[in-house]
Amino acid sequence: MGDANTPEELKFGSAYNYWIKTDAGFDLSRGSPEKITVKTTKDPIMIAPKKTALIIIDMQNYFLHEKLFDNGPGRESVPLMMETVCSCRKAGIPVVWCNMGMNEADRYTLPPSYLAMSYKRDNATFNQSIGTVSIPGQAKPIDMGGKLIKGSWNAELWGPLKAFAEEGYKLGTDVHIWKNRFSALCGHQPLELWLQENQITTTLWGGVVTDVCVWGSMLDAYYKGYDMVMVKELANTTSPDFVVKTAYRNTENWGWLTSTSSLMEGIEQASA
């Protein structure tokens, strides 16, 4: 903890990387003149748009399509997710669509623990074909391709999110980044390089599933020194309620838990 500047102000960190705690909450902006105040379940936080990223994990056909996975909460979160993304785009907060995507080399480097867990759901491990699927409106069954392999149908963003994200790519507000582990920051993942190159210090999180890939990514973000904030309605799972409560509690211990309404309200007030 750094020296206190006033009795009401505490500085945590160094001259280059720090938080400031005041009666108004935690300032995570690292001295940025542009700030957005976001209410959380604890203290309010002040974030800098250019140093913040909204990272959305694994909103792919394999985890969301009704023919592949009974994930109603995931599909139901999409309209609000799109609204929140639009708000972040306007505020200058970059949006990262971070998805599971393997290549041929990964079948030789993935550990047995990953391969065994992957096999449980559909008797196929990463990269193996998961067959075809018939979808209303399509004349022929769709080849789903290798399980979560880059370029396959099952690894694409689900439903309206695909075209929606592509709009963001064209605008320069959104980026797409692959990962080959449940955590987006396990080891040397492309996401970490992107965060470093863009000088991101605060990470907002959502996607599927709350207690596995989202939480695993957040945990590694914490260990690597990033501010971590879960946006409650954007993180979804089919796991039991007690599992979700555990993820929420740990989020509050090591970071912050906020809501889509609080985030969008903060963005709107900052632009007024």
DSSP code at position 153: G
Residue from 30, 52, 51, 101 nearest 231 by CA: 52
Q: Compute how many other C-beta atoms are within 10 angstroms of the C-beta atom of residue 262.
A: 19
Contact of 56 with 234, CB cutoff 8 Å: yes
pLDDT tens digits along 98-120: 999 999 888 888 999 988 988 88
- Whether the predicted pLDDT of 217 surpasses 70: yes
Residue extents of the structural domains in the chain: 10-101+150-271
- Model-level pTM? 0.95
Top pLDDT among 180 and 136 is at 180
What is the C-alpha R_g of the chain? Answer: 19
pLDDT tens digits along 30-68: 999 999 999 999 999 999 999 999 999 999 999 999 999
User: Which pLDDT score is estimated for 7?
Assistant: 53
Contact of 234 with 209, CB cutoff 8 Å: no
User: What number does CATH give the domain 10-101+150-271?
Assistant: 3.40.50.850
Q: Could you give the angle at the alpha carbon of 79 between the alpha carbons of 73 and 82, nearest 5°?
A: 120
Q: Compute how many other C-beta atoms are within 10 angstroms of the C-beta atom of residue 260.
A: 18
